[in-house]
């Protein structure tokens, strides 16, 4: 808030509209997300603790120094976090004191940098769990090959393949729609008529496409019930519950991965805008 009081150009990226929706908000109610909540909460507690420990260690002194190899990589990619380190390093080597607003921007960039690291670590853990979930699915498919007819097995495999496709489509459309809604929420008197019209048309198009994708999801739900009926002929009650748990975990991990990617993208955007606002 102190930064925004002195640099209003950052309002759009540092202080999103209170009604800003995320893709996860728009996915609510479409898929069961409760299965991985405990695992996700456990991961988040661990990451939050890591961030808090880093904050205590740094005492707000700015970005932590990176290993030389990591610095070189970031320098090549012109990463804002690396540039924040360089600006702060130059300030320490200089007799000139940074002005208050620049110091606060660098402090905020350091905090965003630590949050990005935590989110990336969490994403790696989600990807690891997704790989384990895939191995779980392979074991289940091998078991069903021994039990089901070829036609029944094809129905099962087609359902799982389409589940991932429909989910990916819904996530993609929800992300794009959330970004357009966020842009619309920032429309004011200074926004041109052409831009308003473009945002309105994009919102209508994405809304229609998302409704069509929801129809695909309803069809997928019906197919899932058929597949569950087929598997019920061959699996015990516990094995059937394990299959249903597998489908829910697979779904939750895909949604969680996309949510983390969107958060990472948002924080990177904040870092880039902060970096660009600092005088060279």
Q: Give the tens place of pLDDT for each residue, 173-182.
A: 988 888 888 8
Interaxial angle between packed helices 150-185 and 193-232, expressed in degrees from 0 to 180 and rounded to the nearest 10: 160
Burial profile 169-193: b = 16 or more Cβ within 10 angstroms, e = fewer: bbbbbbbbbbbbbbbbeeeeeeeee
Average predicted confidence (pLDDT) for the chain = 78
The SS3 assignment for 35 reads coil
> What is the mean predicted confidence (pLDDT) over 193-207?
92
Task: Please give the Cα distance from 133 to 56 (Å, whole number).
Answer: 36
pLDDT at residue 138 above 80?
Answer: yes
Q: How many domains does the chain have?
A: 1
The two structure tokens encoding residue 12: 């759009």
- Structure confidence at residue 8 (pLDDT): 75
Of the listed ranges 3-12, 93-102, 192-201, the one predicted with least confidence: 93-102
Q: How confident is the model at residue 18 (pLDDT cuts 50, 70, 90)?
A: low
Q: Is 194 exposed, middle or buried (0-12, 13-18, 19+ CB in 10 A)?
A: exposed
Can you give the residue range of the structural domain that contains 241?
A: 2-41+50-277
Q: What is the largest CA-CA distance in the chain?
A: 78
pLDDT at residue 35 above 90?
Answer: no
pLDDT at residue 136 above 90?
Answer: yes
Tens digits of per-residue pLDDT, 114-131? 999 999 999 999 999 999
- Structure confidence at residue 93 (pLDDT): 47
- CA dihedral defined by 177, 19, 107, 278, rounded to 10 degrees? 60
- Structure confidence at residue 279 (pLDDT): 76
Return contacts of 161-164, CB within 8 angstroms, 24+ apart.
Answer: 162/220, 162/223, 163/220, 163/224, 163/247, 163/250, 163/251, 164/250, 164/254
- Structure confidence at residue 56 (pLDDT): 45
> What is the mean predicted confidence (pLDDT) over 148-164?
94
Q: How confident is the model at residue 86 (pLDDT cuts 50, 70, 90)?
A: low
Q: What is the DSSP string of 226-254?
A: HHHHHHHTTS-HHHHHHHHHHHHHHHHHH
pLDDT at residue 137 above 80?
Answer: yes
Contacts with 122 (C-beta within 8 Å, 6 or more apart), sequence order: 43, 44, 47, 260
**Which DSSP category does 33 fall into?**
-
- Structure confidence at residue 61 (pLDDT): 42
Nearest to 271 by CA among 99, 94, 77: 77
- Structure confidence at residue 85 (pLDDT): 57
């Amino acid at each position: 808030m102190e930064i925004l009081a002195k640099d209003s150009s950052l309002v759009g990226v540092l202080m999103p509209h209170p009604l800003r929706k995320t893709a996860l908000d728009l996915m609510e109610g479409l898929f069961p997300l409760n299965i991985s909540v405990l695992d996700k909460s456990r991961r988040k507690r661990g990451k939050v603790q890591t961030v808090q420990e880093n904050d205590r260690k740094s005492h707000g002194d700015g970005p932590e120094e990176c290993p030389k190899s990591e610095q070189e990589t970031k320098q090549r990619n012109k990463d804002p976090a690396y540039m924040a380190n360089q600006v702060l390093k130059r300030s320490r080597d200089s007799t000139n004191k940074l002005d208050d607003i620049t110091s606060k921007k660098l402090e905020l960039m350091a905090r965003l940098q630590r949050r990005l690291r935590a989110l990336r670590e969490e994403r790696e853990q989600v990807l690891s769990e997704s790989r384990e979930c895939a191995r779980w699915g392979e074991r289940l498919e091998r078991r069903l090959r021994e039990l089901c007819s070829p036609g029944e097995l094809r129905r099962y495999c087609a359902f799982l393949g389409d589940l991932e496709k429909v989910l990916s489509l819904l996530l993609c459309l929800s992300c794009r729609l959330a970004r357009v809604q966020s842009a619309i929420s920032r429309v004011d008197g200074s926004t041109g008529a052409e831009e308003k019209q473009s945002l309105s048309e994009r919102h209508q198009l994405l809304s229609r496409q998302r409704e069509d994708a929801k129809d695909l999801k309803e069809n997928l739900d019906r197919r899932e019930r058929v597949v569950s009926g087929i598997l019920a002929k061959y699996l015990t009650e516990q094995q059937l519950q394990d299959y249903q748990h597998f489908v829910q975990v697979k779904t939750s991990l895909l949604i969680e991965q996309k949510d983390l990617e969107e958060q990472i993208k948002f924080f990177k955007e904040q870092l880039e805008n902060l970096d660009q606002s600092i005088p060279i």
